[in-house]
Amino acid sequence: MGFEDLYKGVGHNNGNLAFVHAIASHVGNETKFFPWHASPDTLKREADIIVIPCANQLGPHTDLGSMADRLASADLPIVAIGLGAQADNTAVDIQVSEGTLRWAQLLRKQAASSAPNIYTRGTYTTEQLEKLGIAETIPGGCPSFFINQQPKLGEKIWKNWNANPLPRLISVAGGHQAWGRTRDIEHQLISMMMDPMSPGQYVVQSMGDMIKISRGDFDTIEEKVLANIHAHTVPHYTREEFKNWCINYARSFYDVPSWMDSLRRFDLTIGSRYHGVALALQAEKMGLTVAIDSRTEELCQNTGVPFIRAAECTAPLTRAKLKKLINFDPVAYDRIRSERAALYIDFLKNNHIKPAVFLQKIVEG
């Protein structure tokens, strides 16, 4: 399959696979899958209710007016799961386009019942929606919190984390080449990842050009962009050495089971991509997110994923320092996961969605 087809299939970010895979496993009803541009006639003919796996759609970077028009024409009940707001930090309010505001208003309007039908990534998103006049949403977190179907996940993560005094094998959840403020952090993580006795991997999720380096598609990347990626990763290498480094270390995944199987090989996954880190915990291994904005911080706070703000991630970064930075309480993690699963089950039932049986097992612990 060509790159453009793959890139379109993952919604222009491989991290989207995590929550789409999760929601698909949570819904016990008969399901069909449609692209976001599906026509109103197709939806009316094929569906009784629309479940939308959401991301950080609330922000100045989107204009969802066209989708709002299609959903309005379809006139079916809607359930939105995992909706997030994006701003520089949680102390500021989001800005949204008229089209995205209309889309968010329509989601709430077309509820399947009188119960809340929008499950947000956390209290920040819920508060931002309220400021936009959209009330009664459920601040729950990301549904990828429940990819692993077993209870007591925190205990398993903790046991694996303490198998060695220091993490040896490291997987880096690679950031965006334009994120200059995290570049020094990225360089240090890459240096640790490249330990000759315990070589790791550099997993890329977005944007397209960053993903292309994992496939060796260098000729399709504009020179200026390629130079920026080079500077963001291994600037001390020559261009040919950089390309060889990409082939040896850069990886991208196009299904969740393969991604998680890879992460199981590593003691620690660290980086600025929330879902790239969260999948490690679902694979029973430790993760640490370098939070760069309100979106990543909110997700971590609501799903128990350890995080450190980028501004607090000061040099030098060593394996010993990372061990100290990670504040993980397995008992608290399992308690939060149980509570969130109970909240999620109620949300699904109230919106005429049959929850998967394993969700109740997570509640019961």
Sign, CA torsion 296/298/300/303 = negative
Task: Return the pLDDT at 315.
Answer: 78
User: For 101-130, how does the pLDDT look when each residue is reduced to its tens digit (9 = 90+)?
Assistant: 999 999 999 998 999 999 999 999 999 999
Strands across the sheet with 78-83, in order? 50-53, 78-83, 118-120, 138-139
Per-residue pLDDT for 323 more than 90? yes
CA distances from 2 to 6, 215, 312, 344 (A): 6, 11, 40, 37
What is the arithmetic mean of pLDDT over 56-79? 95
Which token pair is 202?
């550099």
Confidence category of residue 178, pLDDT binned at 50, 70, 90:
confident
Looking from the CA of 90 toward its CB, the CA atoms found within 13 Å total 18
Q: Which letter, b or e, does each residue of 66-87 get, where b requires 16 or more Cβ atoms within 10 Å of its Cβ?
A: ebbebbeebeebbbbbbbbbbb
**Whether domain 153-328 has CATH 3.40.50:** yes
Furthest-apart CA atoms within the chain: distance in Å = 61
- Dihedral angle, C-alpha 332, 16, 297, 276, nearest 10 °: 70
Residue whose C-alpha is closest to residue 145's, from 323, 287, 251: 287
Phi-psi region at 329: left, alpha or beta (left = phi > 0; alpha = psi -120 to 50): beta
- For the ranges 83-97, 131-145, 194-208, the lowest mean pLDDT is seen at 83-97
Asked if the bond preceding 151 is cis, omega within 30° of 0, the reply is: no
Task: Determine the Cα–Cα distance for residues 143 and 79; give it in Å rounded to an integer.
Answer: 13
- Please compute the mean of the pLDDT values over residues 253-274 and round it to a whole number: 96
The C-alpha atoms of residue 291 and residue 138 are separated, in whole angstroms, by 23
Q: What are phi and psi of 319, to 5 degrees?
A: -60, -40
Ordered by start, the domain boundaries in the chain are 11-146+337-364, 153-328
Kindly report, residue by residue over 179-206, the tens digit of the pLDDT: 888 999 999 999 999 999 999 999 999 8
